[in-house]
Amino acid sequence: MKTNVVFTILTMVLLFSSCEKNYYYDTDPRFFNDAMHGDIVGKVIQTGSNAVVIASQVNPVDSVAIDPSDGSFEIKDLPIGNYDLIIRAENYRIYKRANVMIQGAGKTYIGEVDLSTVPDLVASHYPENRSEIVYNNRYSRLSISMTFTQPMDRESVEEAFSTDPPTEGIFYWGQYTTATNRIYFAEDAYAAGFDP
């Protein structure tokens, strides 16, 4: 009986001592917690731009340079959540995309990004590049809006403006990007600085 117990203990010691512990798999969160991380992938059309892609949540979290051969980029192992994506390149406008959602154990593909060489006269525009125009129930219309960094010549802006596919519409100019609320007291409206 003692011989069997000693033999069993000796066999177990040999088995456990022959097993190597792989510390890489035990300490790298990608292998035991993969459902909590994901990647952002995409491509910048301007391959020679030396663009840098930055993922941030209030502060920058990670960044990567594009591959100069094909413009592709991949930011790996980001914790799940929403990220703002910024692409910077010299002599190009800064590209921004908000709320890129990272889901666990997957890749979020943002598509091909065409960096603009237009001077920074346009501070912002709605909709963003390739995003959907949402019907505005409040004012019963579809709206495309732009804000400029400096005063613009109305005639030249209207002449240069186009949509793809071509559409027809009415230009509204003013200091507001959306229509103002209806105001019942005219004197309050004029005091606020606009003509209702």
Please check the confidence at residue 194 and state whether its pLDDT lies above 60: no
Q: Supply the range of the domain harboring residue 149.
A: 118-196
Using a 10 angstrom Cβ sphere, with 0-12 exposed, 13-18 middle and 19 or more buried, the burial of residue 34 is: middle
63 shares its domain with 92 = yes
Spatial neighbors of 1 by CB under 8 A, at least 6 apart, are none
132 shares its domain with 56 = no
pTM above threshold 0.95: no
The domain boundary residue, chosen from 117, 141, 157: 117
Mean pLDDT in residue range 76-85: 94
Q: 87: pLDDT confidence band, cut at 50, 70 and 90?
A: very high
Please check the confidence at residue 22 and state whether its pLDDT lies above 80: no
pLDDT number for residue 196: 39
Of residues 91 and 114, more confidence is placed in 114
* CA-wise closest residue to 44 among 17, 22, 72: 72
Mean pLDDT, the chain, integer? 76
Distance, CA of 117 to CA of 89 (rounded, Å) = 10
46 shares its domain with 127 = no
81 shares its domain with 150 = no
pLDDT number for residue 41: 96
Q: 4: pLDDT confidence band, cut at 50, 70 and 90?
A: low
Please check the confidence at residue 126 and state whether its pLDDT lies above 60: yes
113 shares its domain with 25 = yes
pLDDT number for residue 132: 72
Q: 25: pLDDT confidence band, cut at 50, 70 and 90?
A: very low
Based on the structure, what is the number of domains in the chain?
2
Q: 164: pLDDT confidence band, cut at 50, 70 and 90?
A: confident
pLDDT number for residue 139: 64
pLDDT number for residue 34: 77
Contact (Cβ atoms closer than 8 angstroms) between residue 36 and residue 79: yes
Which helix (H) or strand (E) covers residue 27, if one does?
helix 23-27
Cα angle for residues 36, 39, 44 (degrees, 5° grid): 165
pLDDT number for residue 120: 67
